[in-house]
Structure formats: C-alpha cells, structure tokens
C-alpha cells in the first residue's frame, strides 16, 4: 500500500491533463459555432461548452464515464448496445485464443527441449514469427476461414489471439523445462528414473514458476489479438467491432467507452491470472 | 498428385538431413546453426508448394510460394511505395519519437522516487492494455496520412519503453552507486557512466518489444483510413478483391521489414552490451 499515494497522484495528474486537453482540443469547435452565430463567448463559457459536446474531439473523463456506465449498466445484457455483451464476445475469443496459445506453446516447448533437431530448426522461426505483424494476416485469416466454410468469426479470432499468445508461453516453458541443473538430473538418474519420470517429477514442476509468469503476458497479448481480429471488415460483435463502428459513424464517445471497457477487461483478466498463479504457488508449497 | 508425392519425399529427405545435422558435430559450428533453420524453412516452402499443386488448392484460398514470388517480382514499385508509406514514414518516425519520449520521461522522473513508484504500476498496466484500440481515435485527430500512423506507434511503444527504462535505471547495485559517490561523481556523471550503461540490457529488451509493436501499430492504423497506398491499405483492399497473392507479397515484405528491424536492434545490442552475460558465449 506504500505505492497507493504515488499512484493516486499520477492518476490525478493524468485526469487534470486530460481536462486541459479537452478544453484545448474542443475549444476550436466552440469558437467556430460562436462565430457562425455572430456571438462571442467568454473563456468560462467556452470551457463549459467543451464539456458536453455530442461529438467532441476529445471527450472529457466524466462524459466517457457516463457513456461507459450507460453501456455497462444502462441496457439489458443481451442488447446489441450493451458493452457487457460485446465484452463477453471479446472475452470468449480471448479465452479460446489463450487456451490454444498455451497448448501450442507448451507442446512446442516440450518438443524443443526433448529433440535437438526441433530446437535448432523451429526455435529461430518461432522468433521470426513474432516479428511478422500478425495484423497483416488478420483480414486474410478471416476471409479464408469463411471461404473454407467455417461459420462465425470465433475461430479466426482465436487463431490470431493464439498466434500472439503462444510465443511468451513457448519461450518461458523452454527456459523452465531446462531450469533443473545437472545435479538434480543426475540424482534422478541414480534413482533409475526414466525419461518420462524425469519429465513429470522434475522438469514439469520446475517449469511452473516460468509458466505462470508467462501467462500474464500471454493473456494481454491474447486480448490484443482478439481485438485486432475484430477490427477489419465487417465484424459486428465484440469490443473491437464497437470501436470500428464508433470510428465509421463518427461517434467518438462509443470509441472511448469501448476502449475503456477493453481496458477494464484487460485489468480483470490480469488480476484473474495473478490469482490463479498465487493459488498454484501456494498449492505447490512456494513460500510467500 | 505427383507434385504432392515429390514434395513429401523432398520434405522427408530434408527433415532426415536436419535430424542428422542436429546430431552431428556440424551443429556446434556457426554454419550449422544457420544451415539447420534455413533447411527447415525450405522444407516448409517445398511442402506448401507441393500441397497447393498436388491438391489443386484454388489461388484465392492459398497461393503457392512460386506464385507469390512471381507477384513480388512484378509489383516491386508498388510494394516499395507501400513500404515507404507504412514503414519509413509511419513506423520508424513513430518508433523513434515514442522511444525518445519514453527516455526523456524516464530521465525526468529519475530523481523523484515518489513519481516512479506511482508511474511504474500504471505504466505496467497500460503496457498490457490493447492500445491498438486508440488507432481510430488518432486517425480521426491526425488525418489519413502518415502522421496518424506515427502517432499510433508513438502511443503503442511509449509505455513498454518507459517501464523498461525506469526499471533499467534502478538496475545498478547499491555498492556500485556508493563507489561512484566515494569518487565524488556528480549525479550526471553517475547517470552517464554507471546507471545508463547498466540500464542498457533493459532498454534493448524494451526496444525489441517496441520494434514489433511499431509495425503492428502502423499497419492497424491504416485499416481506419489511409491514402490509397500503404501496406495495411493494400492488404485490406486486396483481401476484398481476392488478390491473395498480393496480400502474401505484402506479408512477405512486412515479415522481412519486421525481421530486419528486430535484427538491427539485436545487432546494436550486441555491440553496446558486449559485457552482459547473455552476450558472452
């Protein structure tokens, strides 16, 4: 809790800057309107008018909060305007991608640690795969899967999310599975442990801290992937699609509200992963 | 069908070669370390080509590598124009401005532990957020040309960079800082001669993350509006026109640009942080 005061100070600073930015960016419109109607506005009038425009350049925090509240609590959960509904769609895609990414990452890491040829040939390409901007592939994956007769956008979204989230898991698991030192490996050999037993009783438990550390990165990456997967061409559900709609119809408030909804979702996911991590650590007897 | 069989045979043969190479002493040499992944990449391409030809996959679903290569060869000027717009004008300036701004901010709050304690958790949180979502808003603010793309990149790279630099500046040890103090080193001297060099591994870690984020930001921003060229624009329009060979050509360019940018950062890292354990073999 030592950090609470500094964090609140920074947050307050951000909000003050935001209001200043609101006045600065929205004032042009107010002066424009005043000039058109031939009136002049004083500074305080101008400030007041920048606070509740319908289509502000930068909406003030309270307007965003109001729109967010309306989106979250103002409608039935099943409504197409409910951010909870869209958030759920995005959440579903994120979790599918996260699951796929974990499976792919762990399996690949196991193969890489076991077979030297996999390590040498696949590992460099795994690194290169992350320098390819996946978003370049996103529109294609989506059209491709619909051409192949896959209904819905869940799978393509999950593939994009998995592509982004498998890498942190892979890197950490390779490190983790290799973390037992020679002494421990030798000990198991003196016990007459086979390869399978060594893997299950030494390598796998030893890799767990690495695994959980990577999950936080992976879930954030998965959410980014899902949102990117919702952006291009014709999505109607999900927070990313909501942003796109806000952009196309010139409704900045919708964009900001969905952006903050995505931020809240990200926060909840990270906290949830952290909770699972603590649970697992306690279960495995790690102190603290 | 014969194309498929040939491809499978070639794939198996090359894979066997790789298995043999990985077990042989050649794999310890430098050439072996390059050769094995290159052979693996070649096997994937051969298999891809064989599958497309052998199974008669329509080019609107998956074009063969040879078709993509032909497309790249015939549309070089267009690819260059898109590359210049997206990478040279959007991603690189945004990357430089964002990293520079993060560096200046980190230095500015360096003397205030209070601000650091506040900024680090927030920065960590924001770095995990889907900042890409800001793209439509920034495109609305800065217009369709490269300025809005650079702005998206700036926002995307800023927080990961900031967190890494602030963490890096705290990386020097108490003992080392005390030593600098006994030599009567000023704040600036300590910063330049001890703390910045000690922070370099962290800074380069951030730069590597930022280099891939920069490309993502620049391309996504183009989905929300762009002039009639640019890699993101080309990809989204060609997908609509079913010109998948062009899409793959752009992806190849993006992959190449991403790898080169990443490799450049890694090269400079090796040169700057030659003293770090991870760089010594």
The whole domain housing A139 covers 83-283
Residue pair A234/A253 in contact by the 8 Å Cβ criterion? no
pLDDT: is B274 or A146 the higher one? B274
- What per-residue confidence (pLDDT) applies to A153? 67
Percent above pLDDT 90 for chain B? 7
- Domain range B72-279, CATH class: mainly alpha
The residue of chain B with its CA nearest to that of A267 is B125
Classify residue A137 as exposed, middle or buried by CB count within 10 Å of its CB (0-12, 13-18, 19+): buried
Residues A32 and A157 in one domain: no
Set of chain A residues whose Cβ sits within 8 Å of the Cβ of B130? 223-224, 227, 262-263, 266
**Average of pLDDT values for A158-163?**
87
Q: For the stretch B62-73, what's the b/e string if a residue is b when 16 or more beta carbons lie within 10 angstroms of its beta carbon?
A: bbbbebbbebbe
**Average of pLDDT values for B4-26?**
80
Does the beta-carbon distance from A124 to B254 stay under 8 Å? Answer: no
Set of chain B residues whose Cβ sits within 8 Å of the Cβ of A10? 115, 118-119, 122
A120 assigned to some structural domain: yes
- What per-residue confidence (pLDDT) applies to A102? 93
A218: CATH:
1.10.3720.10
A221 assigned to some structural domain: yes
Query: Computed from CA positions of residues A61, A63, A67, A69, in that sequence, does the dihedral angle turn out positive or negative?
Result: positive
Identify the top-confidence range among A145-154, A221-230, A239-248.
A221-230
Does the beta-carbon distance from B62 to A6 stay under 8 Å? Answer: no
- The pLDDT-based confidence of A8 (bands split at 50, 70, 90) is confident
Residues A27 and A100 in one domain: no
- What per-residue confidence (pLDDT) applies to A101? 93
- The pLDDT-based confidence of B99 (bands split at 50, 70, 90) is very high
Any B CB within 8 A of A240 CB: yes
Query: Computed from CA positions of residues A151, A157, A158, A160, in that sequence, does the dihedral angle turn out positive or negative?
Result: positive
Q: What are the tens digits of pLDDT across the range B166-195?
A: 888 888 888 888 999 999 989 889 888 888
Any B CB within 8 A of A3 CB: yes
Alpha helices per DSSP H over chain B: 2-23, 30-55, 65-74, 76-83, 92-108, 113-127, 135-142, 146-169, 174-182, 187-190, 196-223, 231-240, 244-272
A252 assigned to some structural domain: yes
Percent above pLDDT 70 for chain A? 94
**Average of pLDDT values for A33-38?**
81
> Given a cut of 90, is residue B236 above it in pLDDT?
no
> Given a cut of 90, is residue B97 above it in pLDDT?
yes
How many Å apart are CA A47 and CA A210, to the nearest integer?
Answer: 51
A226 assigned to some structural domain: yes
Residues A276 and A192 in one domain: yes
Any A CB within 8 A of B25 CB: no
A158 assigned to some structural domain: yes
Which of A102-108's residues contact partners 24+ apart within 8 Å by CB, and which partners? A102/A165, A102/A166, A102/A169, A102/A215, A102/A218, A104/A162, A104/A166, A104/A169, A104/A170, A105/A165, A105/A166, A105/A167, A105/A168, A105/A169, A105/A170, A105/A173, A105/A214, A105/A218, A106/A169, A106/A173, A106/A211, A108/A166, A108/A170
pLDDT: is B1 or B254 the higher one? B254
Residues A30 and A121 in one domain: no
Interface test with A, best of B130, B135, B262 (most A CBs within 10 A): B130
> Given a cut of 60, is residue A233 above it in pLDDT?
no
Residues A45 and A98 in one domain: no
> Given a cut of 70, is residue B77 above it in pLDDT?
yes
> In chain A, which among 35-94 make CB contacts under 8 A with chain B?
57
- What per-residue confidence (pLDDT) applies to A232? 63
For all residues of chain B together, what is the average pLDDT? 84
**Average of pLDDT values for A194-206?**
87
- What per-residue confidence (pLDDT) applies to B115? 82
Residues A160 and A44 in one domain: no
Residues A220 and A151 in one domain: yes
Any B CB within 8 A of A239 CB: yes
The domain locations on chain B are 2-57, 72-279
Any B CB within 8 A of A150 CB: no
The residue of chain A with its CA nearest to that of B122 is A7
A277 assigned to some structural domain: yes
Q: Which value does ipTM take for this structure? A: 0.77
Helices (H) and strands (E) in chain A, counts: 12, 0
Residues A215 and A102 in one domain: yes
Total number of domains constituting chain A: 2
> Given a cut of 90, is residue A21 above it in pLDDT?
no
A248 assigned to some structural domain: yes
**Average of pLDDT values for B9-19?**
82
Does the beta-carbon distance from A140 to B27 stay under 8 Å? Answer: no
For all residues of chain A together, what is the average pLDDT? 82
Any A CB within 8 A of B205 CB: no
Q: What are the tens digits of pLDDT across the range A267-281?
A: 899 889 888 888 888
How many Å apart are CA A160 and CA B135, to the nearest integer?
Answer: 18
Any A CB within 8 A of B60 CB: yes
A75 assigned to some structural domain: no
Place of tokens 């198996």: B12
Q: What are the tens digits of pLDDT across the range A114-135?
A: 888 888 888 888 877 877 777 7
How many Å apart are CA B13 and CA A242, to the nearest integer?
Answer: 50
Tell me if the pTM is above 0.95: no
Percent above pLDDT 70 for chain B? 98
Which one of A5, A131, A135 has the shortest CB-CB distance to B259?
Answer: A131
The residue of chain A with its CA nearest to that of B21 is A117
**Average of pLDDT values for A65-75?**
81
**Average of pLDDT values for A64-80?**
79
């Amino acid at each position: 809790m030592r950090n609470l005061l500094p964090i609140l100070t920074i947050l307050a600073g951000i909000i003050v800057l935001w209001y200043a930015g609101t006045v600065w960016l929205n004032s042009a419109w107010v002066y424009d309107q005043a000039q058109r109607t031939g009136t002049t506005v004083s500074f305080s009038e101008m400030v007041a008018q920048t606070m509740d425009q319908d289509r502000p350049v930068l909406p003030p925090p309270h307007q965003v909060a109001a729109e967010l509240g309306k989106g979250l609590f103002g409608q039935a959960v099943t409504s197409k305007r409910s951010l909870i509904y869209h958030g759920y769609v995005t959440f579903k895609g994120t979790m599918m991608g996260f699951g796929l990414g974990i499976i792919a990452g762990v399996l690949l890491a196991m193969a890489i640690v076991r077979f030297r040829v996999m390590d040498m040939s696949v590992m460099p390409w795994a690194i290169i795969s992350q320098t390819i901007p996946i978003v370049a592939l996103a529109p294609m994956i989506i059209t491709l899967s619909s051409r192949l007769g896959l209904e819905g956008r869940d799978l393509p979204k999950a593939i994009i999310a998995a592509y982004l989230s498998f890498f942190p898991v892979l890197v950490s698991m390779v490190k983790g599975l290799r973390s037992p030192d020679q002494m421990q490996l030798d000990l198991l050999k003196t016990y007459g442990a086979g390869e399978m037993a060594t893997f299950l009783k030494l390598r796998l438990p030893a890799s767990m801290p690495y695994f959980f550390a990577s999950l936080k990165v992976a879930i954030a990456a998965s959410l980014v992937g899902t949102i990117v997967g919702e952006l291009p061409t014709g999505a109607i559900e999900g927070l990313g699609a909501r942003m796109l709609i806000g952009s196309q119809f010139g409704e900045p408030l919708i964009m900001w509200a969905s952006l903050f909804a995505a931020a809240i979702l990200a926060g909840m996911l990270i906290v949830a992963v952290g909770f699972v991590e603590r649970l697992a650590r306690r279960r495995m007897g790690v102190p603290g | 069908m014969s194309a498929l069989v040939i491809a499978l045979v070639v794939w198996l043969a090359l894979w066997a070669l790789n298995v043999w190479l990985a077990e042989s002493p050649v794999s310890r040499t430098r050439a072996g370390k390059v050769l094995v992944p290159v052979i693996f990449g070649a096997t994937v391409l051969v298999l891809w080509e064989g599958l497309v030809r052998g199974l008669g996959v329509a080019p609107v679903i998956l074009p063969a590598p040879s078709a993509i290569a032909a497309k790249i060869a015939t549309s070089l000027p267009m690819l260059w124009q898109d590359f210049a717009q997206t990478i040279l004008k959007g991603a690189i300036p945004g990357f430089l401005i964002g990293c520079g701004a993060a560096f200046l901010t980190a230095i500015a709050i360096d003397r205030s532990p209070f601000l650091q304690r506040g900024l680090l958790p927030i920065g960590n949180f924001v770095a995990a957020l889907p900042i890409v979502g800001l793209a439509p808003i920034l495109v609305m603010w800065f217009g369709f040309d490269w300025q809005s793309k650079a702005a998206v990149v700036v926002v995307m790279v800023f927080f990961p960079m900031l967190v890494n630099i602030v963490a890096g500046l705290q990386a020097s040890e108490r003992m080392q800082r005390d030593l600098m103090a006994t030599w009567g080193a000023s704040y600036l001297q300590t910063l330049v001669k001890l703390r910045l060099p000690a922070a370099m591994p962290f800074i380069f870690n951030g730069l590597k993350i930022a280099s891939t984020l920069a490309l993502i930001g620049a391309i996504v921003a183009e989905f929300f509006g762009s002039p009639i060229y640019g890699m993101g624009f080309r990809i989204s329009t060609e997908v609509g026109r079913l010109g998948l060979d062009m899409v793959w050509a752009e992806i190849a360019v993006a992959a190449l640009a991403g790898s080169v940018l990443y490799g450049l950062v890694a090269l400079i890292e090796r040169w700057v942080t030659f003293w770090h354990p991870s760089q010594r073999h």
